[in-house]
């Protein structure tokens, strides 16, 4: 298993093409760029904590394929306990980073593909599952970070992939030969892509027969010929070039360093292809991946919310109103919501079931309900935190003003709260709250792992409304009609 330092050093040998603000970075300098460095540090924690005796029970596990001790982020879930430990691990890492550490998407991708390829092979007599097992072994042996790549740009949302005016709006196969396939298109909003080793391409939606070329899943190195990455902007990201305080979370960044990944006729050998035209299984893969990924959010967002709650409480301490009854009540309300998010993730894990492949899958109904709660409750948690933090979280002068020999004394004087607390400490906490509760962080809570409507569709489909109706009729003493009973 890699250490955090070994992970970072392993990224330097890539020949990756990354553009930031229109400029192509030198590949060896990508991970040191101010916009990217914090995200690298956050991901490094998923490696470093595996070597800490205090966290190794959550961070490591025995591979069912090799019998070796591995990092949990490369594991295929073998029990309900694995699913539960995953959620606990995510909350623990979030409490240490206060942000996204990006490795979950690839983790969920390999688990979704593992069970889906098994069932594909059973029905179609293909050999995708054996390829997938070999790929997982490779991933475990080398402890690599794999970025899950599902979201396509989609173009005109009213049209299916094959109906788009521009066929590249969805990743698709443009050539098949004896050696492999050639794919073209792009993946958008890719978390942790520029500091990963490889990516796992997946279809972004269920497919019909006419979409055959778009039903593709494969593994591609992030620096493969024909691949380039355009790094996304974040709220206040230029502050990363201007010191430490104004960033809020200078060491680990905010959210996951997303980018647009462009695939210009990229060759993929057959041994790294896990779906190629099997449209009947595209929907299964999407739903399994989405459910695994939505399972995460009560863990990771529960942990991030722990930091937001702590920051709000510290701001109240620093400002002198921590003992006010309404402040205590607001903090308790935030705690209640954070634990509600966590409870859903634990519940969908505890209700998980074994798949035909032997791996374990979460309860999809509870996973989708949990993620839908995140799209609402995070906004409420952050709203209360901003209320407690006060207006200065949005209007503070800069770190440069604080350091200025002429005007710094005024910043120091007039932004002082409790006399015993240094003004700089109060500014640091205010900036942490500002960056964690606004802009990029909030939008990611809404749309990460799927927008709210995606969860509504899933839990509406899975909730078995007809059963609820029959239960109510039975209690009321109403005998169902034949057609209703049949349902």
Q: Which domain holds residue 391?
A: 284-470
Q: What is the DSSP letter of 1?
A: -
| 42-84: pLDDT as tens digits | 999 999 999 999 999 999 999 999 999 999 999 999 999 999 9
What is the reported pLDDT for 480? 84
CATH of the domain at 364: 1.20.140.10
Q: Who's near 191: CB < 8 A, 6+ residues apart?
A: 100, 102, 105, 147, 148, 255, 256, 257, 258, 448
Does residue 268 fall inside a structural domain?
A: no
Is residue 375 part of the annotated active site? The answer reads no
pLDDT of residue 325: 98
Task: State the DSSP string of 124-156.
Answer: H---HHHHHHHHHHHHHHHT--EEEE-----SS
> From the candidates 293, 318, 344, 440, which is the catalytic residue?
293
295 is a domain residue: yes
238 in a structural domain: no
- Written as six digits, the tokens of 485 are 């009973």
Q: Considering the candidates 300, 318, 399, 434, report the single residue annotated as catalytic.
A: 300
Name the catalytic one among 46, 116, 151, 191: 191
Catalytic residue status for 393: no
- In-domain check, residue 380: yes
pLDDT at 487: 46
Count of domains for the chain? 1
Report d(CA 385, CA 308) in Å as an integer.
7
Selected catalytic residue, list 7, 74, 75, 104: 104
- On whether the CB atoms of residues 229 and 177 are closer than 8 A, the answer is no
Annotated catalytic, 444?
A: yes
Backbone angles phi, psi at 421, to 5 degrees: -100, 125
CB 369 within 8 A of CB 452: no
Output the pLDDT for position 481.
83
pTM: 0.95
Residue 413 lies in a domain: yes
Does 471 qualify as catalytic in the annotation?
A: no
Known binder of ligand: residue 191?
yes
pLDDT of residue 483: 55
Q: Does residue 360 lie within any of the structural domains?
A: yes
416: in domain:
yes
Per the annotation, the verdict on 258 as an active-site residue is yes
Element (H, E) at 185: strand 180-190
In the predicted model, residues of the chain with pLDDT beneath 70 are: 482-487
Question: Alpha-carbon Rg of the chain, whole angstroms?
Answer: 24
Say which of 114, 297, 318, 342 is annotated catalytic: 297
Residue 82 within a domain: no
Q: Is residue 339 among the annotated active site residues?
A: no
Task: Assess whether 259 carries a catalytic annotation.
Answer: no
Burial class (CB in 10 A: 0-12, 13-18, 19+), 434: buried
Of the listed 100, 259, 276, 348, which one is catalytic? 100
CB atoms within 10 A of CB 481: 9
């Amino acid at each position: 298993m890699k250490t955090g330092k070994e992970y970072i050093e392993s990224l330097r040998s890539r020949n990756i093409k990354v553009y930031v603000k229109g400029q192509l970075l030198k590949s060896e300098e990508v991970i040191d760029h101010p916009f990217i460095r914090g995200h690298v540090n956050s991901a490094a924690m998923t490696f470093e904590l595996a070597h800490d005796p205090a966290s190794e029970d959550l961070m490591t596990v025995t591979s069912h394929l090799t019998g070796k001790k591995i990092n949990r982020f490369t594991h295929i879930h073998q029990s309900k306990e694995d699913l539960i430990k995953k959620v606990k691990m995510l909350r623990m890492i979030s409490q240490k980073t206060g942000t996204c550490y990006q490795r979950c998407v690839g983790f969920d991708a390999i688990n979704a593909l593992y069970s889906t390829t098994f069932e594909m092979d059973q029905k179609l007599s293909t050999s995708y599952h054996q390829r997938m097992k070999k790929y997982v072994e490779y991933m475990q042996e080398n402890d690599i970070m794999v970025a899950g790549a599902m979201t396509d740009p989609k173009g005109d949302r009213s049209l299916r992939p094959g109906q788009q005016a521009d066929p590249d709006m969805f990743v698709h196969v443009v050539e098949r030969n004896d050696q492999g396939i050639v794919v073209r298109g792009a993946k958008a909003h890719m978390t942790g892509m520029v500091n990963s080793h490889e990516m796992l391409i997946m279809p972004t939606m269920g497919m019909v027969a006419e979409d055959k070329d778009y039903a593709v899943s494969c593994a591609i190195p992030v620096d493969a010929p024909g691949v380039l990455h355009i790094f996304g902007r974040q709220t206040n990201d230029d502050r990363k070039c201007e010191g430490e305080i104004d960033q809020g979370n200078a060491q680990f960044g905010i959210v996951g360093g997303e980018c647009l990944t462009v695939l210009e006729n990229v060759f993929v050998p057959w041994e790294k292809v896990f779906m190629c035209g099997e449209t009947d299984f595209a929907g299964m893969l999407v739903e399994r991946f989405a459910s695994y990924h939505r399972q995460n959010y009560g863990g990771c967002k529960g942990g991030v919310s722990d930091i937001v709650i702590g920051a709000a409480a510290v701001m109240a301490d620093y400002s002198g109103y921590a003992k006010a009854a309404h402040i205590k009540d607001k903090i308790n309300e935030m705690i209640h919501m954070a634990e509600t998010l966590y409870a859903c993730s634990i519940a969908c894990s505890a209700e998980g079931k074994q798949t035909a492949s032997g791996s374990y899958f979460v309860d999809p109904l509870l996973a989708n309900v949990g993620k839908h709660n995140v799209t609402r409750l995070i906004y409420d948690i952050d709203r209360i935190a901003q209320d407690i933090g006060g207006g200065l979280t949005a209007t503070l002068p800069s770190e440069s003003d604080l350091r200025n020999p002429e005007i710094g004394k005024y910043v120091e004087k007039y932004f002082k709260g409790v006399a015993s607390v240094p003004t700089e400490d109060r500014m640091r906490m205010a900036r942490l709250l500002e960056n964690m509760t606004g802009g990029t962080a909030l939008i990611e809570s809404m749309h990460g792992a799927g927008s709210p409507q995606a969860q509504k569709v899933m839990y509406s489909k899975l909730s078995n409304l007809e059963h609820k109706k029959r239960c109510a009729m039975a209690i009321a003493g109403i005998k169902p009609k034949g057609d209703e009973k049949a349902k």
